[in-house]
Amino acid sequence: MVGLKLKPEIKIAGSGMIKALSGLFAVTSLALALLTAAANPGNAASRIKDVTNFEGIRDNLLVGYGLVVGLNNTGDTLSDGHFTKQSLLAMLERLGVKPTEAGLSSKNVAAVMITASLPAFARQGSRFDVTVSALGDSASLLGGTLLVSPLLGADGEVYGVAQGQVAVGGFSAGGDAETVTKGVPTSARIANGAIVERELNFDLSSLKTIRISLRNPDLTTARRIAQAMNAFLGTDAAQPSDPGTVQLRVPRGYENNVVGLLTDLEQLRVEPDQLARIIIDEQSGTIVMGENVRISTVAIAQGSLTIRITETAQVSQPGPFAEVGDTTTVARTDIQVDEGADNKLSVVSSGVTLQDLINGLNSLGIGPRDLITILQAVKAAGALQAEIQVM
């Protein structure tokens, strides 16, 4: 009897346990699915750090003037009064050499302009890249060395010093009858060729309010960024002030930890909105359309007039044994006119999506250059709900 009583109890207990485990597994699967959906937003969503710039985190442009020496007879022409010659004389005098202008006839020196971008929060002693470009009539900077040259900011202060061997991405070679040039030999680059001498003072950690600027200003995008930040922080710390700026007030818990605040916020994802815009490059025939481009129902007829003229020269000569007549060449012209009679009036339906619009325009069987003219005509007719920007 004990054995008979235990079997149904074990079966009942086992069945209940299986049901409980099945329910727990279903709840767990649902929770995992929700977490996965929350962690994997749509493909159109972008990180805030990829669509905005934070106040104070920016590069600064520097410019300088210097001399490149060591060229293989490809430098500037040191004529009287030339700025390269004056710079070379001044540089040698600072080094204790007093040459005469008549003694400076070398073609191994070139005057250059130096441009660079000072990275944000670059500390004294750190290095950055510079670009060197010929200023005079130098043919090539290949093999040259840039002498010590100061780099100035917009305020006229020296923020860096550049020097080093230039790396040219092109070359030029030739003789009396032919010349071969690849790339631009009068422009070069020096990797880590400049060193920071003066730091830009900006205390990011002491900010109480941070301005976040959108790279593509838009009202909807600015509001979405503010909503994403407020949802993460649990406060109304972020407010859009205009289409290109979001004002962020440093909340409690992040005082003196602005870096941590920005690190947390820049990983949030938002879906940027965009204007309905069509970009047209008439030179290359390139057309780029945004996903919000819409077109109303419109009828389009595209016809082309082709005139083909063929010149065929024929020889005309007198008959055999003719006493009068000369052999001459007579021009024969054949003119054919094609008015494109096969092209008919086609209806492009209202485009709900960009793909529908593309399919409707492609059904006309026209090329990119004719499509440019059609889009401009449709815009003039008021049937294209998009902005056309011609490059």
Buried b (16+ CB within 10 A) or exposed e, 16-33: eeeeeeeeeeeeeeeeee
Flag whether pLDDT at 11 surpasses 70.
Answer: no
Distance CA(389)–CA(391), nearest Å, equals 6
Question: What's the pLDDT at 211?
Answer: 94
Residues 328-347 have a mean pLDDT of 63
Flag whether pLDDT at 324 surpasses 60.
Answer: yes
Distance CA(249)–CA(238), nearest Å, equals 6
Query: What is the chain's mean pLDDT, rounded?
Result: 80
Flag whether pLDDT at 32 surpasses 60.
Answer: no
**Which has the higher per-residue pLDDT, 352 or 81?**
81
Residues 222-232 have a mean pLDDT of 95
Give the least confident one: 157-166, 197-206, 288-297: 288-297
CB atoms near residue 51 (< 10 Å): 19
Question: What's the pLDDT at 24?
Answer: 40
- Of all residues in the chain, the percent with pLDDT exceeding 70 is 74
Residue 167: closest CA among 197, 187, 182, 151: 187
Residue 110: closest CA among 140, 79, 90: 140
DSSP letter, residue 262:
H
Flag whether pLDDT at 57 surpasses 70.
Answer: yes
Assign 40 to helix, strand or coil: coil
Residues 40-60 have a mean pLDDT of 82
pLDDT confidence of 194, banded at 50, 70, 90?
Answer: very high
Question: What's the pLDDT at 343?
Answer: 55
Model pTM above 0.85: no
Note the pLDDT tens digit of each residue in 252-265: 888 888 999 999 99
Residue 305: closest CA among 273, 338, 260: 338
Residues 206-215 have a mean pLDDT of 92
